[in-house]
């Protein structure tokens, strides 16, 4: 048994969660369940990123005290994670006193690589970062993500010497000591690393008040990324606790938009602290809506609670883990959601369970008491590559195979044949029928096992049906059509 640490990006709390935010949690949760299934102990972190100007401004606009505002929104995320069926072992808020203290300790430990300098450059307030001159020119002076012109800013900041660690980071990415998934993103990060300047890691308090104070300098507040990235360590109790049981993280789940912070600043921080690098940085694609990036101005932001209420949790987990490609941008539309529910969950799986359990019940068959899932090397390989949507596709092929098998073997035709046969022949046919049904029940139990990381509830229901004293179909089908 190993001890495994899995992390998720901590969202900004300047609004309520949208469906895109589900990805980190679902991927991390599926992987956690998979690892636990293999007998490993997992620590699964989640939390909220609560400092920075964007959040302070939003609270001011709403005329709410900023602490009350972040409390409210952090709770919404915590509730959201629960609704998704994800079960983090730890939840950290960057406004937690122990996090703030840990962050300052981390800063102090990095001081050999920190210097103060004046900086003038183009800044996007939406991204809360300076852009390079190259980016400024490429984007014609307007941030493509926030659709607002870059501002010229001049200020005294502390800088973190990325240059001290570039060579080590490059080697770690190339050798996969810190693997970046998918592969093409590793190449992208290596390119970015080449041009990466030292990063500014503080703001004067005149510009940013809502944040962690720089230790020993009342006039400066930490830039949000240093504060936010530290969460992965402070949640383990760093630097007070010995974190070597769980650090380095096995997998850190992040969206593609924030991979650059995790692939450059984060390893530089860890190297500066003398800590090992995470084993895998997993960067997932984005959820689009009707082919577009979700945005309040387009008005296409989908409320995850509405999606959850429409067809329940298993349908939500199924859609986002299978039909949102683990590594590429994919589209959510209500049409696709309905089709996945009706054709795949209700027809392919729900009906199969119902039909097979009905046939077993008619034969008064007992469930498989001593069921042991088969080892499926191909599935394990896909799961270990962390390509979860592919693992779902693979599992679904097995569901389809079973549907084909039941249609080919037509177990419902046996009864007529049995009635028309003499006693010996009837006995033989009955034994054959039971053999067919039990073999299929066994295969369905294996499918349920493969589904467990993705659809834990459904997997458990199927397991209960086919391992019960007597096999009985559920009164309400697993996925009733609506």
Binding site for ligand MSP (CB under 6 A): 9-12, 20-21, 23-24, 49, 228-229, 231, 254-255, 257-258, 286-287, 294
> Is the bond into 182 cis (omega within 30 degrees of 0)?
yes
Given the residues 63, 296, 410, 416, the one annotated as active site: 296
- The nearest distance, CB 344 to ligand MSP, in angstroms, is 22
Residue 21 or 203 with smaller CB distance to ligand MSP: 21
Distance CA 340, CA 334 (A): 10
Residue 10 or 448 with smaller CB distance to ligand MSP: 10
Active site residue 449: no
Residue 192 or 420 with smaller CB distance to ligand MSP: 192
Q: Do the beta carbons of residue 332 and residue 289 sit within 8 Å?
A: yes
Q: Is 194 exposed, middle or buried (0-12, 13-18, 19+ CB in 10 A)?
A: exposed
The CA-based diameter of the chain, rounded to the nearest angstrom, is: 97
Residue 287 or 478 with smaller CB distance to ligand MSP: 287
Given the residues 21, 282, 284, 311, the one annotated as active site: 21
Active site residue 146: yes
Helix, strand, coil share of the chain (percent; to 5) = 50, 15, 30
Active site residue 398: no
Q: Do the beta carbons of residue 280 and residue 262 sit within 8 Å?
A: no
The DSSP code for 275 is: -
- The nearest distance, CB 12 to ligand MSP, in angstroms, is 4
Residue 263 or 294 with smaller CB distance to ligand MSP: 294
How would you label 97-114 residue by residue, b for 16+ Cβ within 10 Å and e otherwise?
Answer: eebbebbbbbbebbeebb
Active site residue 124: yes
Helices 66-83/22-37 angle, 10° precision: 50
- The nearest distance, CB 13 to ligand MSP, in angstroms, is 8
- The nearest distance, CB 345 to ligand MSP, in angstroms, is 22
Cβ-proximal residue to ligand MSP, closest one: 255
- The nearest distance, CB 224 to ligand MSP, in angstroms, is 7
How would you label 313-349 residue by residue, b for 16+ Cβ within 10 Å and e otherwise?
Answer: ebbbbbbbbbbbbbbeebebeeeebeebbbebbbebb
Active site residue 143: yes
Given the residues 54, 113, 143, 262, the one annotated as active site: 143
User: Across-strand partners of 152?
Assistant: 122
Residue 82 or 470 with smaller CB distance to ligand MSP: 82
- The nearest distance, CB 47 to ligand MSP, in angstroms, is 9
Residue 169 or 229 with smaller CB distance to ligand MSP: 229
User: Across-strand partners of 202?
Assistant: 222
Contact partners, residue 178, CB within 8 Å, separation at least 6: 169, 172, 263, 267, 277, 278, 279, 280, 281
Collapse the DSSP code of 325 into the 3-class scheme (helix H, G, I; strand E, B; otherwise coil) and give the result: coil
Backbone angles phi, psi at 274, to 5 degrees: 75, 25
Given the residues 3, 67, 176, 293, the one annotated as active site: 293
Distance of alpha carbon 383 from the chain centroid: 14
Residue 288 or 429 with smaller CB distance to ligand MSP: 288
Distance CA 359, CA 351 (A): 12
Distance CA 229, CA 151 (A): 25
Distance CA 67, CA 79 (A): 18
User: Across-strand partners of 405?
Assistant: none
Given the residues 57, 101, 127, 361, the one annotated as active site: 127
Given the residues 116, 146, 152, 336, the one annotated as active site: 146
- The nearest distance, CB 260 to ligand MSP, in angstroms, is 11
Active site residue 323: no
Distance CA 38, CA 19 (A): 29
Active site residue 21: yes
Nearest to 55 by CA among 23, 18, 95: 95
- The nearest distance, CB 329 to ligand MSP, in angstroms, is 8
Catalytic residues: 18, 21, 124, 127, 143, 146, 293, 296
């Amino acid at each position: 048994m190993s001890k495994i640490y899995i992390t998720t990006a901590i969202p900004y709390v300047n609004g309520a969660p949208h469906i895109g935010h589900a990805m980190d949690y679902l991927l991390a949760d599926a992987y956690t369940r998979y690892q636990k299934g293999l007998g490993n102990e997992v620590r699964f972190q989640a939390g909220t990123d609560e400092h920075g100007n964007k959040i302070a401004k939003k609270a001011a606009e709403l005329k709410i005290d900023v602490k009350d505002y972040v409390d409210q929104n952090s709770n919404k995320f915590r509730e959201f994670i629960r609704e998704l069926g994800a079960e983090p072992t730890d939840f950290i808020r960057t406004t937690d006193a122990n996090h703030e203290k840990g962050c300052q300790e981390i800063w102090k430990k990095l001081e050999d690589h920190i210097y103060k300098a004046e900086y003038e450059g183009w800044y996007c307030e939406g991204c809360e970062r300076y852009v390079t001159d190259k980016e400024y020119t490429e984007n014609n002076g307007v941030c493509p993500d926030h659709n607002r012109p870059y501002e010229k800013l001049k200020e005294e900041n502390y800088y973190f010497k990325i240059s001290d660690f570039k060579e080590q980071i490059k080697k770690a990415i190339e050798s996969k000591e810190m693997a970046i998934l998918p592969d093409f993103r590793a190449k992208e990060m290596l390119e970015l690393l080449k041009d990466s300047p030292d990063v500014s890691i503080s703001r004067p308090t005149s510009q940013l008040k809502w944040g962690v104070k720089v230790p020993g300098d009342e006039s400066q507040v930490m830039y949000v990324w240093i504060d936010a990235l530290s969460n992965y360590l402070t949640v383990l109790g760093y630097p007070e606790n010995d974190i070597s049981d769980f650090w380095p993280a096995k997998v850190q789940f992040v969206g593609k938009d924030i991979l650059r912070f995790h692939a450059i600043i984060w390893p530089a921080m860890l190297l500066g602290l003398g800590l090992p690098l995470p084993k895998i940085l997993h960067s997932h694609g984005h959820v689009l809506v009707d082919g577009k990036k979700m945005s309040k101005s387009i008005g296409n932001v989908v409320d995850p609670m509405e999606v959850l209420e429409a067809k329940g949790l298993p349908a939500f987990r199924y859609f986002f883990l299978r039909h949102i490609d683990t590594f590429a941008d994919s589209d959510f539309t209500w049409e696709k959601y309905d089709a996945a529910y009706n054709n795949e969950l209700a027809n392919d799986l729900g009906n199969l369970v119902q039909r097979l359990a009905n046939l077993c019940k008619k034969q008064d068959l007992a469930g498989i008491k001593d069921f042991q899932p088969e080892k499926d090397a191909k599935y394990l390989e896909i799961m270990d590559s962390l390509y979860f949507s592919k693992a779902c596709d693979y599992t679904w092929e097995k569901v389809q195979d079973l549907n084909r098998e039941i249609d080919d073997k037509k177990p419902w035709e046996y009864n007529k044949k049995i009635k028309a046969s003499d006693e010996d022949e009837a006995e033989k046919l009955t034994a054959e029928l039971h053999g067919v049904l039990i073999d299929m029940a066994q295969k369905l139990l294996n499918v349920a096992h493969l589904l467990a990381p993705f659809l834990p509830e459904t997997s458990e229901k199927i397991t209960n049906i086919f391992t019960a004293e007597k096999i009985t179909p559920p009164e309400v089908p697993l996925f009733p059509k609506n």
